[in-house]
C-alpha cells in the first residue's frame, strides 16, 4: 500500500455490517486528519443480496472518490471474492473472511490475508462483530490509520449504545489486529504458492 | 464548525435548514430517500414542516403554494419523480416563485434503475416542462458542495425569484465525505412583500400569485420580462465566473476535459494522470449548468485544440459545449450509462485516442 | 332609505366573465359575505382552480393563488402550512376536483388540512366547452359522450362527498345547492360553518354545491335550475355527511 | 330614491330575478345594453316588498335593494 | 377522395382512423378539444375505443397499456397536459412502444394562455422526461399535413417501435383548410408478435413489456440499443430527405429563413416578398424536428451567407440550427410569444435588418 | 406417493427477491393457482407496479406489463380495452395504489373496467426502505414519520376498500388477509371470485389483502403476522364490501 | 379587391354566427375550386365576448393563412370595428352591420359598405340570419366567388336541417346581395366625405 | 420417497412453516445454505400428516408434500 492513499473495497452479505465497517474506517481516517470518502452500493441488491462500499483514505485531497482499482479488498463472503478479486491492483491485497470463504485459486500477484472473522466473532459470543475483526486486521496493514486512531473513533460512533456493546467491539477489533500478528506466515507478496504448498 | 462525515443527501438536508428552509414537501424515491428521512427527523426539531405528499405531482404543487406564501421551501426526487413535476415546475417558473428542487439522478428512461446517472441534463437545462422558461441549475461535485450549493441555491432563488434545480446523482447523494457545515442564514418570511398572507404592516394591496396571462399582449409581455430576467441571471454568472465554473490547468491545456458533478472529480484525476504522461490536459467543470458558462468555452476555443466532454449519458451537455465552441475546435464525447461511472482509465484511453489519433 | 342588500366589499367591482345565470356568481358572493361576516377577509387566501372559475382571483378582494388543474388542495396545503393563521380555501370544479385532482383532494382531506374546499359540481367541464365530468349524469350527452354517458364503459357519477366522508380526518362534509333562495340560505350557512371551523382550527371542511352550467347543458338558466332539481339532486342527495364537531347543531 | 336599483352594466339578462320575484314585478327591458342584453327592469315598484330575493338570486350582484326606514 | 373543409384537429382525428388507430385515451384541453370530441363521435362508429381518462397522467399510461397490447393508439393534449405526460412518455420510449402523441401547443409557461405557440420545442425534441431517450417529432404546417403526417406517424411508430410526437399549435389545430383524406391503411394487431395478449398461433414464449433494467450492464446495454436505434432513425431520414425537410428557393439563397409548422407558411410568403424586392431569400422547413435535418443546414452553410430562424418562442429550434451550422455562418433569430403569430411584415423587417445592416 | 402440494406451473422457477417470510410470495401463489384452476393462464396479462413486487413479472409464466408507479389501473385499462378477451389484473402496493395512484384506482373502478386489482396493504413503502404509506397505522414509526404517524398532521390510515365500495360500478370489493391458513383459504377464494367475475365479463373486482412487511416493520415474520392480527385488522376490518352479483353466495 | 386573392376578417359577438359566416365563404370558395383557409379566434373571449375569423380565398396556393392586413373586414358589432378598422389594407373595404354600429369617423382610405343586417334579418323574422345577409352583401364584391356558387354550397352545409331553415338562409343571402345593389350611393373609393355630407 | 421435500435453495429461513406445522416436527437445520440461511428441516417425518400447512404457508413455495397412496 502506498503511504499517501489507500483505496479499499469492502464487500459481503447485506447483514454483515459491511457499510458500518467502511464507515468506521472512513471516520477514523477523518479524525486522523486524512481526506476520506465512502461510497456504498445501494439499491435492491442490498436486500438479501450483497452489499459493498468503497473507502478512500488519503493524505491529499481526493479527486475521484470512485474506486475502480482497489489497493485492498475486504471480502466477507464468496460472491464478493468473485466480484472484486480481478479488480485488485497488482501488488494489492485481498483480505478475506475465511470462515465463509473457501481457499481457492486466487490471483498470484496480490497479497492474501485470511481471517476467520466469523469464528473469532463467535468466540466472542456475537457473530455481528465479525466486521470489527476485519477492521482490526486491516489496521495492521494501513499506513494511514492506526489501532489507536480507531480506538479513539469507535466510541464516538457508538455514542448512545451500551458500554458492553462498545467493549465487545473493541475486543473484536483487537482480536483481528492480533490475529494478523500471530499468523505471520500469511504475509509475503505472493502467497499463492504458500497455499498450494500447505 | 467541526467536520462531520455525512452522506450527500443528508448534508443537503442539513444545509437547507441552515439556509432557513423550514418547509419540505416530497415523495419517497431511491436514491434520494435519505434526504426526506433526514428532514422528517430534523424539521420538527426546528419548528419546520415536513409533509410526505401523496405523489410528486402533489409535492411540487405544495411547494408552489408554500413558495407563494413566502416560505423558503424545497422538494426533492429522482428522475421519474422529476418528470412528474414538470407541469408544476413550469407553473413555478411562470409565477416567478423561488424554491429549491433537488434531482438525485438515476438511470432512465422509464423505470430504468436506481444507479447514478446524468441523463436528465436536458430536462433540467432546457425545461422539461412546457413554455419558455428556465430553471437555474446547479451541479455540486462533493458532499461539501451538496451543502454549500444549497445555501447558495436558496439565495439565488430569492434573489431572482426563480426555481433552482440542484442536479445531483446517486453517487453524490449516497456517498459520505467530511463536511464543514456552512454558517446559518436568517430568513424572514415577511421579507417577501409579494407573498400571499404577507403580514407586514406596510401591506397595501392584496397579493396575487398566478401564471395565467390570457391576453396575447399580456403573456408576451410576461414572457419578455422572464426572458430579460434570464439575461440578468446569465450576466450575473458571467460577472461572477468563479461561482459558475471551475477551471483546472486550462491555461496551457491542449485538450480540455469537460464534465460536471461526480464526473468532474474523475476528470481531475485524469488530468493529473495526463500531465504525468506529458499530455497537456485541463479541466472545465461547470458548477452552474444553466446559465451555461459558454463564454469560458468560447475563450478556451481560441487556445485549446480539443475538447472532450464526459457524461453519464449518451451526450447531452456536449451540445452546450458545441454551441459555445461554435465549430472552432473539435468537441469529442465519451459517455457511459446504466449506472456505470466511467473510470479514469477508460477516460484516459479516450484522451489517448484523441491526442494520438494514429 | 336603508340598504337591505348590496355588494360586499370582499367582492371586487369587476364584472365576471361567467355566462348569464351561472351559479358561480352566487357562490362567489356567499363566500365573500361569509368571510366578511367572520371578519377574516384580510387574512384570507383563496386558491383558484383551472376551470371557469380560473379568474376567481379577479372577483375577490383578497389574496389569491391560481393553481394548476386539480392541484388546488396541494397548493392550499403548502399555503396553509406556511401561513397557519390565514384562512385558506380552494374553489374547484368537478373536472378539477373529481377527475384530475382526485388524489389531491382525498389526501388533503385525509391529512385533515385545516382548509376549506368549495366544490362546484355542475356535472360538466364548463371552461373547455362541455366535456364529460366524473359527475356527469348517466345518459347525458356531452362533447366527449356524444351518444350519452354509458355507465358500462364510462362509469356512473362519482359522489365525492360520500367518498370524503369515509375518511377519518375531515371535520365537516356537506352537500348543498343554490337552485332556489331557501337552498341558497342553507348553502350560505354551510360555507359559514366551514370557515368557522377553519377559524377555530378544527380541521378540514368540504362544501359540495350542486350547480348549473346553463351554457353547456344547453338550457336557459331558469330551466337549468329546474333540471338540476329534477335530475341532479336524486343522484347527488343534499345533506351533511360528516360533522364531527356538531357545528350544524351549535 | 328607489327601493330597486340595478347596475345595468352588470346585468347579463339571465332572467333569474324575474322568475324568482314573488311579486312578479320584474321584466326584461325593451332596450339593449352595450353588451347586447335586455336587462331586468322594474315594472311596478310600489308592489316591491324589498324582500331582496331578486338581488340574492342575481349571480352578478347587479341589483341593490333599499327599504323605507321606519 | 373529395376535398373536405376541415379543422386541423379533426383532420388529424379522421386520419388516425384511416391509419388503423382504434384507441384514443385523452383528457380535454384547449386548443385541441375538437380532436377528442371528433374521435368520441367517430371511434364508436368503427368499433374503436374512446376513453376520456381522469387526467393526462392516466391517459398516457392507458396508451402505454394499449400499445403494449399491440394497439395502434394515440393521445393528444396541449402544453401543460403534455408536461404531465413526461414520465409516461419516458416509460413508453424506454419500453420501445409505438404510439402517437399530439401536442397542440399553447402559450406557457404555467397556465399561460390558449393562444398558439411553439415554446415546447425543447420539451419535444430533447425529451421533457428523464433519461436518454428520443421521440420522433413531426411538424405539419397545414391541415392536409395534419392528416398526411398522422398516417406516416403511425407507420414510423411501428417501424421503429418508438413514440412519435406530432408538434402542432393552436392555429394548425383550429384552422380549416380543404383536405383530401389519404387512403386508409389496414392494421392487424397481431402483426406485433411481441404484444401482450398476442393471439397468433405462433406464440411461443410469454411476452413482457418493461422499462426496468436493474443491473448496470443490462441498462447500459438497453440504453445502447436505444441509442443505436436513434441512429437508425436519423439515418433513415437522412436517406429520405424529402420526408424530413422542405427546401424552397435555397439554391441561390443568400439568406435562408428557417421555421417549422405554421411559421413556415408565413416564411414562404416572406421569401416571395423578398424575391420581389431583389433579396435572394430561401426557406428551409423541417418537417421532422427530431431527428433534426442537420445535414441540410450543414450543406447550406457552405453556400448561403446568413440564416434567420423564426419561432413562436424566444428561441429553441435556433439551437439546433446553430449546432448544424457550426459557426460557419451567422444564425439570427426572431421570435414572438404569447400567441402572437409574427406577420410577414415583421419578418421582412428582420430580413431587411440582416441583409442591410446599416 | 401422490403429490398433495407442489408448485403450479403458472409460477416460474425463479426464486423471488422478497425478504424472508414476506407475504408477497404467498399471494403470488394464490393468484397463479387461481389462474390455473380457471384455465385462463394462457390469456392472462399481469400488470406489475413499482414497489417490492416490481419484478412480479419474473415470477409468473404469463404475459406481463411493468407499469409506472401508481398507474397500473390505467395501464390495465389500456390493455383490457385493447384485448377484451384477456384476463387482466394489477398487483399493487399501498404506496402505489393508495398514494400516488389514488386517482387511477378510483376512476378505473368507477368506469367499471373489467379487470381485477390485487391490493397488497402492508402499511408501509417496502421497496424504498420503509416510508409512511397512506395505510400506515397512527403512531407507527417509519422513515418519514420518525416520531410516529401523527393523525393531526399526517392523517389516519385510508381504507381503500370502503372508498371503492361507495362507487356504483365495482362488482366485487373485499378485504382479506393471509395471516394464517384459514384466512389464506378465504383469500384464495376471494381471488378466484374476482377472476371468475372477470372471466364472465361482470366488471371490476378488487381484492385488498392485509399483509406483513417484516423487514420494514422490524419484526420476525411470525411476529409480524401476530402484530398484523392485533393491530392492522382492527383498523382494516376483513369482509366483503360489495358483491353485486352475489358471487360469494353462488 | 385583387382578382386572385381575397383576405377577409369577419368579427362580431359570440352568438352572431360569425364563424359560420366565415365557413360559408370558405366552403363556397373551395367548391369553386379556389384555395381557401379559415382561422377562428378561439378561447374564452368567445363566451360573451367577441368572435372573429380570418378567411382567405385564392386562385393560388395559400402560403401564409394568417391575415394581418385584410382586404375586407366584415364587422357585426362596434368592438369589431375598433379592433380591426386600422388593419384594413389601404384601398380595402369595411363592411359593417349598421343595425348595431353607429356611423363614425372611419378611415378615409377604405371603401365603406353599410348593411343594416339585423334589421333586414328581423324583417325576415329571424335575427340569426343577419350573418347570411352580410354574406350576400359580400358576394357582391367578391371577384372569386359568385352568388350562384354560394347558393350551391349552402344546401350542402345545411344538410340535415329543415327545408324552411335553408329557404330562410337563402332569402337572407339574396336580401343582402340585393341591398348592395339598391344602395348604389354607398360605393365609391372614399366615401368618408359622403357620410360627412349627409 | 419422502412426504416432505424441501428445495433448500428456495428456503429463506423465515420460520413460518416451523411455527405453523400442527405436529411441530419442523425445525431450522444446523447447516447453512449458500445463501447463508438455516433452512427448515424435518425432524420426524413419521409424524407428518401431509396436511401441507407448512407448504402452503411458505412464501417461497420451497416445500412439496406427498402422501401415501391408498
Ligand atoms: C393539466 C391541464 N389539463 C387540462 C386543462 C384544460 N382544462 C381547463 S378547465 C378544465 C375543466 C374544467 O371543468 P371543471 O373543473 O368542472 O370546472 P367548470 O369549468 O365546470 O367550472 C380543463 C380540462 C388544463 N388547463 N390543464
Ligand atoms: C414516480 C415514482 N415515484 C416514486 C418511486 C419510488 N418508489 C418505488 S416503490 C415505492 C413505494 C412502494 O411501496 P408500496 O407501493 O406500498 O409497495 P411495497 O414495496 O410495500 O410492496 C416508491 C415510492 C418511483 N419508482 N416512481
Ligand atoms: S360554461 Fe357553464 S360553468 Fe362556465 S361560466 Fe358558463 S355556465 Fe358557468
Ligand atoms: S325585492 Fe323582492 S319584491 Fe322587490 S323586486 Fe326584488 S324580489 Fe321582487
Ligand atoms: S338575475 Fe341579475 S343578471 Fe340575471 S337578469 Fe336579473 S339582474 Fe340581470
Ligand atoms: S421490504 Fe417488506 S414488502 Fe418488500 S419484500 Fe421485504 S418484507 Fe416484503
Ligand atoms: S405437511 Fe403438515 S404435518 Fe407435515 S410437516 Fe407440513 S405442516 Fe407439518
Ligand atoms: S416457510 Fe419456506 S422459506 Fe420459510 S422457513 Fe419454511 S421452507 Fe423456509
Ligand atoms: Mg364543472
Ligand atoms: Mg406497501
Read off the pLDDT of residues E126-180 as tens digits, 9 standing for 90 and up: 989 999 999 999 999 999 999 999 999 999 999 999 999 999 999 999 999 999 9
Assigned domain for C249 exists: no
The rounded distance, in Å, linking the Cα atoms of F146 and B33 is 13
Query: Does B289 have pLDDT greater than 50?
Result: yes
Chain F residues interacting with chain E (CB cutoff of 8 angstroms): 43, 45, 47-48, 54-55, 57, 61-68, 71, 74-83, 85-86, 103-104, 106-107, 111
The DSSP secondary-structure symbol of C125 reads: B
Asked if residue F197 belongs to a domain, the reply is yes
Which of B146, B174, B191 corresponds to the end of one domain? B191
Judged by a CB distance cut-off of 8 A, whether residue E64 touches chain F is: yes
Any idea what the CATH number is for the domain that residue E179 is in? 3.40.50.970
Cβ within 8 Å of residue B222, ≥6 positions away: B94, B213, E338
**CATH number, position H19:** 3.30.70.20
Measure Cα distances from C202 to C187, E107, E292, G135 in Å. 20, 41, 58, 63
Q: Which CATH number do you get for residue B332? A: 3.40.50.920
Ligand 2 neighbour F51 (Cβ under 6 A): yes
Model confidence at B48: pLDDT above 60: yes
Give the full edge-to-edge strand order of the sheet including D4-6: C2-5, D63-67, D4-6
Residue E326 lies in a domain: yes
- Tell whether ligand 4 has an atom less than 6 A from the beta carbon of residue D26: yes
- Asked if residue E76 lies in contact with residue E36, where contact means CB atoms within 8 angstroms, the answer is yes
Confidence of residue D36 (pLDDT cuts 50, 70, 90): confident
Q: Which residues of C fall below an 8 Å CB-CB distance to E? A: 50, 54, 66, 68-70, 95, 99-100, 102, 125, 128-129, 131-132, 134, 143-147, 153-154
Whole-number Å distance, alpha carbon C94 to ligand 3 midpoint, is 12
Question: Does the beta carbon of C52 sit less than 6 angstroms from any atom of ligand 3?
Answer: yes
- How many independent structural domains does chain F possess? 1
Considering only CA atoms, which of F99, F123, E134, C68 is closest in space to residue B81?
F99
**Looking at chain B, which runs of residues are DSSP E strands?**
3-7, 23-26, 49-52, 73-77, 99-105, 136-138, 163-169, 176-180, 208-209, 245-248, 255-258, 281-286, 288-290, 306-311, 331-335
- Chains sharing 3 or more CB pairs under 8 A with chain F: A, B, C, E, H
The answer to whether the beta carbons of residues C188 and C174 sit under 8 Å apart is no
- Per the domain annotation, does H60 fall within a domain? yes
3-state secondary structure of A38: strand
Closest ligand by atom to E27 CA: 1
How would DSSP label each residue in chain F? -EEEE---TTB-SPPP-PPTT-HHHHHHHHHHHHHHHTT-GGGEEEEE-SSGGGGGGGTBSSEEEEPPTT-HHHHHHHHHHHSTTSEEEEEEEHHIIIIITHHHHHHHHHHT-S-EEEEEE-SSBTTTTSB--TTPPTT--BTTBTT---HHHH-----HHHHHHTSSS-SEEEEEE-SSHHHHHHHHHHHHHHHHHHHTT---EEEEEE---HHHHTS-HHHHHHHIIIIIHHHS--EEEEETT-TTT-
Q: Are B271 and B126 within one domain? A: no
Interval between CA A45 and ligand 8 midpoint (Å): 21
Grid coordinates of C65: 393563488
Residue B238 lies in a domain: no
Among B191, B207, B235, the domain-final residue is: B191
Burial of G127 (0-12, 13-18, 19+ CB in 10 A): middle
The dihedral through the CA atoms of C152, C153, C156, C161 has a sign that is positive
In a domain, H70, yes or no: no
Q: What is the CATH number of the domain that holds F226?
A: 3.40.50.970
Q: Is D15 in the pocket of ligand 5 (CB under 6 A)?
A: yes
Please determine, for residue E214, whether its predicted confidence score (pLDDT) is greater than 50: yes
Max CA pair span of chain B: 74
Q: C30 in helix, strand or coil? A: helix
Sorting pLDDT into bands at 50, 70 and 90, what band is A196?
Answer: very low
Segment C148-161 shows an average pLDDT of 98
pLDDT of G1 = 55
Residue A11's DSSP bridge partners are A52, A75
Confidence of residue G63 (pLDDT cuts 50, 70, 90): very high
Classify residue F250: in a domain, yes or no: no
Read off the pLDDT of each residue in B338-357 and give the average, rounded to a whole number: 93
Average confidence (pLDDT) over E195-216: 92
E171 touches chain G (CB under 8 A): yes
The complex's ipTM? 0.96
The model's confidence at residue G103, banded by pLDDT at 50, 70 and 90, is confident
Q: Which residues fall within 8 angstroms of residue A33, CB to CB, at 6 or more apart?
A: none
Interface of F with C in 125-164 (CB under 8 A): 134, 151-156, 158-159, 162-163
Residue A186 pLDDT grade (very low, low, confident, very high; cuts 50, 70, 90): very low
- Tell me how far apart the alpha carbons of residues F104 and G128 are, in angstroms, rounded to a whole number: 45
Q: Establish if C46 belongs to a structural domain.
A: yes
- Ligand 10 centroid from CA F97, angstroms: 9
Residue H48 lies in a domain: yes
Residues C111-130 have a mean pLDDT of 97
User: What is the pLDDT, as a whole number, of residue E356?
Assistant: 82
CB contact under 8 A, B68 and C65: yes
Interchain pair C145, E29: CB under 8 A = no
Distance from the CA of D56 to the center of ligand 3, in angstroms?
A: 19
Mean pLDDT of G82-96: 92
Name all chains with 3 or more CB-CB pairs below 8 Å to chain C: B, D, E, F, G
Query: Which whole number is the average pLDDT over G130-150?
Result: 95
Higher local confidence (pLDDT), B1 or D50: D50
pLDDT of residue B204 exceeding 90: no
> pLDDT tens, A103-118?
877 788 888 899 999 9
For residues E338 and E336, give the distance between their C-alpha atoms in angstroms, rounded to a whole number: 7
pLDDT at A192: 31
Residues 6+ apart with CB under 8 A from F96: F49, F50, F51, F69, F70, F72
Best CA proximity match to C197, nearest among C238, C163, C160, C246: C246
Range of the domain at E8: 4-191
Q: For position A49, what pLDDT does the model report? A: 66
- Condensed to tens digits (0 to 9), the pLDDT of residues F115-146 reads 999 999 999 999 999 999 999 999 999 999 99
What pLDDT is attached to residue A191? Answer: 36
pLDDT at G187 over 50: no
- Shortest distance between the Cα of B127 and any Cα of chain F, in A, equals 22
B311 found inside a domain: yes
Atom number in ligand 6 closest to CA F17? 5
Take residue E205 and report the three cell numbers written for it: 414464449
Pocket test for ligand 5, best of D21, D25, D52, D58 (most atoms within 8 A of CB): D58
How crowded is residue E116: how many other Cβ atoms within 10 Å of its Cβ? 30
pLDDT in tens, B55-76: 999 999 999 999 999 999 999 9
What local confidence, expressed as pLDDT, does residue A50 receive? 76
Terminus-to-terminus CA distance in chain H, angstroms? Answer: 15
Single out the residue of B288, B339, B270, B282 nearest to residue B105, CA to CA. Answer: B339
pLDDT computed for residue G3 by the predictor: 74
What is the structure's pLDDT at A43? 61
Cβ(C19) – ligand 3 distance below 6 Å: yes
Which burial class, exposed, middle or buried, applies to G71 when counting CB atoms under 10 A from its CB (0-12, 13-18, 19+)? buried
Among E35-49, E204-218, G15-29, top mean pLDDT goes to E35-49
Predicted confidence at residue G190, as pLDDT, reads: 35
pLDDT of residue B296: 97
For the stretch G166-184, what's the b/e string if a residue is b when 16 or more beta carbons lie within 10 angstroms of its beta carbon?
Answer: eebbbbbbbbbbebbeeee
The verdict on G27 touching E (C-beta cutoff 8 Å) is yes
Q: Identify the domain containing residue F7 by its residue range.
A: 3-243
Neighbouring C-alpha atoms within 13 Å toward the C-beta of B54: 32
| Domain membership flag for residue E238 | no
Range with the poorest average pLDDT among E190-199, G121-130, G179-188: G179-188
Residues B176 and B254 in one domain: no
- C-alpha–C-alpha distance, residues B157 and B179, integer Å: 23
Q: Which grid cell is E77?
A: 393534449
Q: Looking at residue B92, what is its pLDDT?
A: 98
Using the CB atoms, write b or e for C34-54: b if 16+ within 10 Å. Answer: bbbeeebbebbbbbbbbbbbb
pLDDT averaged over every residue in chain C: 97
- Nearest CA to CA, how far is C223 from chain B (Å)? 32
The answer to which of B308-312, C89-93, G82-86 has the lowest mean pLDDT is G82-86
| C187 occurs within a structural domain | yes
Q: Contact at 8 Å (CB) between B265 and A39?
A: no
Strands B306-311 and B255-258: parallel
The verdict on a CB contact (< 8 Å) between B28 and F66 is no
**Taking 90 as the threshold, does the pLDDT of residue F166 lie above it?**
yes
Does residue E46 lie in a domain region?
yes
CA distance to partner chain D, nearest, from residue C26 (Å): 4
Q: Provide the pLDDT confidence category of residue G185 given band limits of 50, 70 and 90.
A: very low
The whole-number pLDDT of residue G143 equals 93
In a domain, C250, yes or no: no
Contact B90, B127 (CB under 8 A): yes
Q: Are the C-beta atoms of residues E83 and B87 closer than 8 Å to each other?
A: yes
Ligand 1 pocket, residue C99 CB under 6 Å: no
Nearest by Cα to F55 from F65, F42, F44: F65
Residue G48's pLDDT band, with cuts at 50, 70 and 90, is low
Query: What's the confidence (pLDDT) of residue G128?
Result: 87
Query: Whats the size of chain B, residue-wise?
Result: 358
| Gap from CA of C14 to ligand 4 centroid (Å) | 24
Ligand 1 atom 5: residue of nearest CA: E29
Find cell 450576466 and name the residue.
B235
The pLDDT-based confidence of A47 (bands split at 50, 70, 90) is low
Q: What is the pLDDT of residues B153-185, one digit of tens each?
A: 999 999 999 999 999 999 999 999 999 999 999
How far is the alpha carbon of C44 from chain B, nearest alpha carbon, in Å?
7
pLDDT above 70 for C4: yes
CA distance B319 to B125: 11
Ligand 2 in reach of B65 Cβ (< 6 A): no
Measured between alpha carbons, how far is B100 from B164 in angstroms, rounded to an integer? 5
Q: For residues E164 and F37, what is the distance between their CA atoms, to the nearest angstrom?
A: 41
Q: Cα B67–B71–B72 angle (5° rounding)?
A: 100
Strand pairing category for H4-6 and H26-28: unpaired
* pLDDT of res. A48: 56
Task: Report how many domains make up chain B.
Answer: 2
By mean pLDDT, which of B318-327, C189-198, F208-217, G90-99 is the weakest? G90-99
Alpha-carbon gap, residue E263 to B241, rounded angstroms: 38
Q: Which of C96, C22, C114 is nearest to C59 (CA)?
A: C22
For chain D, the domain total comes to 1
DSSP-assigned letter for residue E326: T
Beta strands in chain E (DSSP E): 3-7, 23-26, 49-52, 73-77, 99-105, 136-138, 163-169, 176-180, 208-209, 245-248, 255-258, 281-286, 288-290, 306-311, 331-335
pLDDT at B245 over 70: yes
The dihedral sign for the CA sequence H35, H40, H45, H49: negative
B114 with A43: Cβ contact below 8 A: yes
G66 with E171: Cβ contact below 8 A = yes
**Min Cα–Cα distance to chain H from F83, Å:** 31
Give the distance, in angstroms, between the CA of residue F168 and the centroid of all CA atoms in the same chain.
Answer: 21
Nearest atom within ligand 8 for CA of residue H12 = 3
Ligand found nearest the CA of C5: 4
Chain segment B132-158, per-residue pLDDT in tens: 999 999 999 999 999 999 999 999 999
Domain contains D70: no
Give the pLDDT band of residue E350 (cuts 50, 70, 90): very high
Q: What gap in Å lies between CA B238 and CA H59, rounded to an integer?
A: 61
How remote is the CA of residue F96 from the centroid of ligand 2, in Å?
A: 6
Query: Is the pLDDT confidence value at A189 over 60?
Result: no
Backbone angles phi, psi at G65, to 5 degrees: -85, 0
Amino acid at each position: 500500500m502506498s503511504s499517501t492513499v489507500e483505496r479499499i473495497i469492502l464487500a459481503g452479505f447485506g447483514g454483515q455490517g459491511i457499510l458500518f465497517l467502511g464507515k468506521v474506517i472512513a471516520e477514523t481516517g477523518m479524525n486522523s486528519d486524512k481526506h476520506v470518502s465512502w461510497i456504498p452500493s445501494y439499491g435492491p441488491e442490498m436486500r438479501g443480496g450483497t452489499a459493498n462500499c468503497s473507502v478512500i483514505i488519503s493524505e491529499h485531497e481526493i479527486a475521484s472518490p470512485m474506486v475502480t482499482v482497489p489497493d485492498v479488498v475486504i471480502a466477507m463472503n464468496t460472491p464478493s471474492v468473485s466480484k472484486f478479486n480481478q479488480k485488485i491492483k497488482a501488488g494489492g491485497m485481498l483480505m478475506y473472511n475465511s470462515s465463509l470463504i473457501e481457499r481457492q485459486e486466487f490471483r498470484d500477484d496480490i497479497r492474501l490475508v485470511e481471517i476467520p472473522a466469523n469464528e473469532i466473532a463467535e468466540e466472542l459470543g456475537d457473530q455481528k462483530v465479525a466486521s470489527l475483526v476485519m477492521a482490526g486486521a486491516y489496521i495492521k496493514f494501513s499506513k494511514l490509520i492506526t489501532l489507536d486512531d480507531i480506538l479513539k473513533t469507535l466510541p464516538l460512533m457508538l455514542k448512545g449504545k451500551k458500554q458492553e456493546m462498545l467493549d465487545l467491539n473493541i475486543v473484536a477489533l483487537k482480536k483481528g489486529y492480533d490475529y494478523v500478528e500471530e499468523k505471520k506466515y500469511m504475509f509475503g507478496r505472493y502467497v499463492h504458492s504458500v497455499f498450494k504448498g500447505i | 464548525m467541526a467536520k462531520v462525515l455525512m452522506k450527500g443527501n443528508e448534508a443537503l438536508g442539513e444545509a437547507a435548514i441552515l439556509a432557513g428552509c423550514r418547509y419540505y414537501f416530497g415523495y419517497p424515491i431511491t436514491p434520494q430517500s435519505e434526504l426526506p428521512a433526514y428532514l422528517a427527523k430534523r424539521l420538527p426539531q426546528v419548528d419546520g414542516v415536513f409533509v410526505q405528499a401523496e405523489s410528486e405531482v402533489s409535492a411540487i404543487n405544495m411547494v408552489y403554494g408554500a413558495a407563494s406564501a413566502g416560505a423558503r421551501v424545497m422538494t426533492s426526487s429522482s428522475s421519474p419523480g422529476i418528470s412528474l413535476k414538470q407541469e408544476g415546475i413550469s407553473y413555478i417558473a411562470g409565477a416567478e416563485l423561488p424554491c429549491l428542487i433537488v434531482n438525485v439522478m438515476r438511470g432512465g428512461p422509464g423505470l430504468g434503475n436506481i444507479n447514478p446517472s446524468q441523463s436528465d441534463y436536458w430536462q433540467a437545462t432546457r425545461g422539461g416542462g412546457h413554455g419558455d422558461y428556465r430553471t437555474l441549475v446547479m451541479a455540486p461535485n462533493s458532499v461539501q458542495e451538496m451543502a454549500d450549493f444549497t445555501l447558495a441555491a436558496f439565495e439565488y432563488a430569492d434573489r431572482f425569484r426563480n426555481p433552482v434545480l440542484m442536479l445531483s446523482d446517486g453517487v453524490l447523494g449516497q456517498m459520505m465525505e467530511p463536511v464543514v457545515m456552512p454558517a446559518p442564514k436568517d430568513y424572514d418570511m415577511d421579507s417577501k412583500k409579494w407573498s400571499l398572507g404577507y403580514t407586514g404592516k406596510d401591506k397595501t394591496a392584496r397579493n396575487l400569485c398566478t401564471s395565467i396571462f390570457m391576453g396575447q399582449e399580456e403573456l408576451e409581455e410576461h414572457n419578455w420580462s422572464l426572458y430579460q430576467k434570464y439575461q440578468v441571471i446569465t450576466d450575473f454568472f458571467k460577472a461572477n465566473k468563479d461561482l459558475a465554473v471551475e477551471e483546472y490547468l486550462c491555461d496551457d491545456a491542449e485538450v480540455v476535459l469537460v464534465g460536471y458533478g461526480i464526473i468532474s472529480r474523475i476528470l481531475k484525476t485524469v488530468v493529473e494522470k495526463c500531465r504525468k504522461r506529458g499530455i497537456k490536459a485541463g479541466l472545465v467543470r461547470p458548477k452552474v449548468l444553466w446559465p451555461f458558462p459558454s463564454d469560458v468555452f468560447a475563450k478556451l476555443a481560441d487556445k485549446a485544440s480539443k475538447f472532450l466532454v464526459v457524461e453519464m449519458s449518451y451526450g447531452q451537455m456536449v451540445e452546450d459545449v458545441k454551441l459555445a465552441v461554435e465549430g472552432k475546435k473539435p468537441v469529442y464525447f465519451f459517455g457511459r450509462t446504466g449506472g456505470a461511472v466511467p473510470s479514469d482509465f477508460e477516460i484516459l484511453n479516450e484522451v489517448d485516442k484523441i491526442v494520438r489519433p494514429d | 332609505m336603508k340598504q337591505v342588500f348590496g355588494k360586499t366589499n370582499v367582492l371586487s367591482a369587476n364584472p365576471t366573465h361567467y355566462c348569464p345565470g351561472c351559479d358561480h356568481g352566487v357562490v362567489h358572493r356567499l363566500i365573500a359575505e361569509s368571510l366578511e361576516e367572520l371578519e377574516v377577509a384580510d387574512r384570507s387566501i383563496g386558491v383558484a382552480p383551472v376551470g371557469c372559475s380560473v379568474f376567481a382571483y379577479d372577483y375577490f378582494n383578497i389574496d389569491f393563488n391560481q393553481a394548476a388543474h386539480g392541484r388546488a388542495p396541494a397548493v392550499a396545503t403548502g399555503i396553509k402550512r406556511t401561513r397557519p393563521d390565514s384562512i385558506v380555501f380552494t374553489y374547484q370544479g368537478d373536472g378539477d376536483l373529481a377527475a384530475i385532482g382526485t388524489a389531491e383532494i382525498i389526501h388533503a382531506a385525509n391529512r385533515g388540512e385545516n382548509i376549506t374546499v368549495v366544490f362546484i359540481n355542475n356535472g360538466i367541464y364548463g371552461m373547455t366547452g362541455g366535456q364529460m365530468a366524473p359527475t356527469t349524469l348517466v345518459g347525458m350527452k356531452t362533447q366527449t359522450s356524444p351518444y350519452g354517458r354509458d355507465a358500462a364503459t364510462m362509469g356512473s357519477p362519482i359522489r365525492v362527498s360520500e367518498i370524503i366522508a369515509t375518511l377519518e380526518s375531515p371535520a365537516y362534509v356537506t352537500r348543498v345547492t343554490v337552485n332556489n333562495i331557501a337552498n341558497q340560505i342553507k348553502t350560505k350557512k354551510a360555507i359559514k360553518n366551514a370557515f368557522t371551523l377553519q377559524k377555530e382550527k378544527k380541521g378540514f371542511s368540504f362544501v359540495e354545491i350542486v350547480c348549473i352550467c346553463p351554457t353547456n347543458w344547453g338550457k336557459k338558466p331558469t330551466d337549468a335550475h329546474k333540471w338540476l332539481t329534477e335530475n341532479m339532486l336524486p343522484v347527488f342527495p343534499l345533506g351533511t355527511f360528516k360533522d364531527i364537531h356538531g357545528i350544524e347543531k351549535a | 330614491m328607489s327601493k330597486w336599483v340595478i347596475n345595468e352594466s352588470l346585468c347579463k339578462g339571465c332572467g333569474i330575478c324575474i322568475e324568482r320575484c314573488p311579486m312578479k314585478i320584474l321584466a326584461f327591458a325593451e332596450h339593449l345594453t352595450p353588451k347586447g342584453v335586455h336587462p331586468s327592469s322594474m315594472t311596478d315598484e310600489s308592489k316591491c316588498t324589498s324582500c331582496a330575493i331578486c338581488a340574492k338570486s342575481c349571480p352578478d350582484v347587479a341589483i341593490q335593494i333599499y327599504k323605507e326606514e321606519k
